[in-house]
Structure 1
Amino acid sequence: MMGTPVGRVEREFVLNNVAEKKISLRVHGYKKTRQAIVLRIEEDVLVLYNDTEGWSDFSAKEEIRVFFSYFGHVMTFPSRVKSADDYLSIEIPGEMIKNLQRKYERIALPPGTMVSFAVENITYELTFPKTEEYNPAEQPAYGDAFPQESLDKLMAGAAKKISEFKANYRIQMFRDRGPKGWEEEIITRTGKSLFVSPIKAGVPKTDPDMSGRILTKAQALAPEYNINLSELLGSEAELDERFSQLSDKDIVAVIYCPLIYHDYVIGYIHVWSEHVTLGIEVFEYLYQFSKVLVYALKNHAYFDNIERQKGEYAAEILDISASGLLFTHTSRELHERLVLYTDLDLFLRMGPRKMVIGSRIMRKYQDNKQTYYGCQFLDLKPEDFRFLFDSIYGRELTPEDEELWEGGAEPPKLTFT
């Protein structure tokens, strides 16, 4: 956030005044905004009130940003929702910014967004779909149960075992494409397996083996996982209908098991049966096989090959706005290549749309572990800009957006020396 940080004492003073004087706040969630006032301040919570629209589309743990005008200063702070019912309870902010100096508000990277860029003919992949689970790709304790002399023998052994379950299988890798369709998207975002057996029963309401590895119905319908999906599933009935359609195709049971490398889903194992239901022992085998397969791919230089061919970096994009983005990486090579004012083409994919954006490195700073790079968008087609704005903020661009800066602040004054 570009602006002036507010110290702890001043921050507490400002929050108390905001509550006492009923100063209007603008609460920004993902693709939504609300006007509110502070109803009360509790020990570690701000309780906000809105007398018109309510808070039904906000959810616990959702990241938000709050803007307000305070005696001529537009100020902002980030927070997290603790509960949303008649009132919105949010965490007391640990930081606050005034004197905002950014054209558009930056938000966390929308799910399903992929970005890469080219520097001196080397392409650096910035984000594959990240997930909430983590696999260190170390040798599994049960690895001896699988033939690992070669990838061919490992795959042949898995094919034989799965056939004994009277099931079919395939493996889909995300090396050349991202997830498509609801099933791929949901296992990617959650990092959990989709286990539906029998099909007519639908997604289970509770985890069948109580391990936390299998997706439940509540998780499948959680708003934070369904954001930006082309096939938004808004109800339990819609979810059940999706699998009843598979039943019409004579599919009796299905399992999607993600292949997780560190905190990225690199692909998945898809198993289905047209003859018998699949028990929990089938899922357990697939889960173990997924760990062994990822470890084998690592040992057979699968990820090294990607790095040599594409210059891939598992960098993290911290946030994005309609005018730029911020990413970070630990690579010394990248640190040396990307100097201030380096021009580069960003390749941004949001859902089905791919955009090429001429950009420039405008900020660069380090901490003990990594380097941060702030990119400004310079060359973006008007139709791509409108799509980007709507995808990020959930609304169309207005004349006010063009005239004012982040949070409704006046543009900073230009000085010439």
Structure 2
Amino acid sequence: MGTQVGRIEKEFVFKSLIDNKIPLELHGNQKEFKGIIIQADDEKITIQGESQSMEDLTENDQVRAFFYFKNNYHTFNSTVLKTEGNILIVKHPEGVYKNLQRKYERIKMPEGIEVSFTLKGKKIELNFPKSSIYKEPEPPKVSKDFDISKISTLVNSFRKKMSLLVSENKIMMFRDKMPKTYDEKIIVKTGKIFWIPSTEDEFPVNDPFPDERIIIKRDLVKYEENLGTPPYIITSKLGNILYEKTKKDIFSEVFVPIIYNEYIVGYIHIYNTQENRKRITENLVDYVYQFSKVLAYALKINGYFNAEKSNEKKYEAPVIDMSASGILFSHTSPELGRELMIHTDLDLIVIIQKRKLIIGSRIMRKFQDNSVYFFGVQFLRIAPEDFRFLFEFLYGKPFMSKYENVWEGGAPPPPLEIFNE
């Protein structure tokens, strides 16, 4: 992105922008706006649009500002707080950057993009994450309850046991399906168990298990925040979820994901009706959780996952952001962390609106944060017509030849360091 300016310089920059009415170029929601800063404090910045309405931007939209100051191009990221006519109010940014060095502006990963590539005979797919965790199925301990030799026997035995303990029980698989309901989306996003001890109480605020397997209220709030739900709406939305379940005659409920590596391949759903009015206990949650691990292993050894048969190992990982010249993605698989090295070349397959783009690429950056690996990929080869299509999809405007000789925000290309002194 560039070099972050210090706190004192940052204050000076914003004062100068206001005093000298230095123009800004704002990018957000695939649109561009021009304006000046008319007011700034420690919490927010007020921008006046240049003869155009700012109301195409809405609350919680992400925006990027560019401006030229002291013979240097600068930028900052922020979040929209409010718009009214040609007035835009955004959060005070955490940082201001100068000496911009990226060819094209990065944007948050848009929906509707699928990315995959093949590396040493292994097919790796990059899409929105199935989950944020990675669990490889392990052989279960010997148990009379869990006979893994035949899937149908294992499932029938479980259903028979559950029929004596809860009102309803189901096993749902995600093969050729995408999560649709709120319950499905939250277990896919977190990889955790969605446990509602009672629809007449609040969501759990603490996880009784040491390995953090339960979705607690804080997880639900964070999930809603990431969706851009305003804070004042989140509490009422969570309450409404419980109310809707009550209307569906549900008193206590559990969704347990079935995890295979990084995939959520399905889930186990059990619940008690209002007539039954029995809370699903911690012990029963643990039993279903252990069964989900056994079922994942049984599916594996019984050939349910075709990719294993064909020597293709599939991965899915979140693409964090993307530009017309590269992508940044992350993954929790140690194997993928070992396979992908700096300067590894690969052909990316990008599918946008049913159009297939093949892009020659190279891993240029790699770093690890706890158990998560991050990979920065640079595009090296792309057909001109595919590049123009990608550019317009990402930025909401057609590519023009004048963009070839400038960097993000209109900055000139950084100097080339061909020789080292």
* TM-score, normalised by the number of residues in structure 2: 0.62
Residue 257 (str. 1) matches residue 242 (str. 2) = no
Q: 2:375 aligns with which of 349, 372, 375?
A: 372
- The aligned counterpart of 1:200 is none
Q: Residue 64 of structure 1 contacts residue 78 of structure 1 at CA under 8 Å; is this kept in 2? A: yes
Cα deviation, residue 68, structure 1: 2.2
Matches within 5 A, 1:256-335: 257=255, 259=257, 266-269=264-267, 271=269, 281=279, 288=286, 291-296=289-294, 302=300, 309-313=311-315, 317-328=319-330
CA offsets per residue over residues 98-143 of structure 1, 9 Å max, x none? 234413x1123335754321123221234552557x698999xxx9
- The aligned counterpart of 2:120 is 120
Matches within 5 A, 1:8-407: 8=6, 10-29=9-28, 31=30, 35=35, 37=37, 39-42=39-42, 45-50=43-48, 52-54=53-55, 57-59=58-60, 64-79=63-78, 83-84=81-82, 88-94=89-95, 96-103=97-104, 105-110=105-110, 113-127=113-127, 129-130=129-130, 147-148=145-146, 150=148, 152=151, 155-164=155-164, 165-167=166-168, 169-173=170-174, 177=176, 179=178, 181=180, 183=182, 184-185=184-185, 188-189=188-189, 207=202, 213=215, 224-225=226-227, 257=255, 259=257, 266-269=264-267, 271=269, 281=279, 288=286, 291-296=289-294, 302=300, 309-313=311-315, 317-328=319-330, 338=341, 340=343, 342-344=345-347, 346-349=348-351, 353=354, 355-361=356-362, 363-364=364-365, 372-376=375-379, 378-380=381-383, 382=385, 386=389, 389-390=392-393, 392-393=394-395, 395-397=396-398, 399=400, 402=403, 405-407=406-408
User: Residues 407 and 127 from structure 1, CA distance in 2 versus in 1: closer, same or farther, beyond 3 angstroms?
Assistant: same
Q: Residue 129 of structure 1 contacts residue 178 of structure 1 at CA under 8 Å; is this kept in 2? A: no
Q: Distance in 1 between matches of 2:225 and 2:368?
A: 34
Larger radius of gyration: 2
Equivalent residues, number: 377
User: Residues 383 and 223 from structure 1, CA distance in 2 versus in 1: closer, same or farther, beyond 3 angstroms?
Assistant: farther
Q: Distance in 1 between matches of 2:71 and 2:188?
A: 45
Q: Distance in 2 between matches of 1:135 and 1:366?
A: 18
Letter in 1 for 2:145: P
Cα deviation, residue 416, structure 1: 11
User: Residues 416 and 373 from structure 1, CA distance in 2 versus in 1: closer, same or farther, beyond 3 angstroms?
Assistant: closer
User: Residues 290 and 127 from structure 1, CA distance in 2 versus in 1: closer, same or farther, beyond 3 angstroms?
Assistant: farther
RMSD of the TM alignment (CA)?
Answer: 5.6
CA offsets per residue over residues 11-30 of structure 1, 9 Å max, x none? 44333322443433344445
Letter in 2 for 1:53: M
Q: Residue 137 of structure 1 contacts residue 291 of structure 1 at CA under 8 Å; is this kept in 2? A: no
Runs of 5+ in structure 1 lacking a partner? 197-203, 228-235
Cα deviation, residue 325, structure 1: 1.1
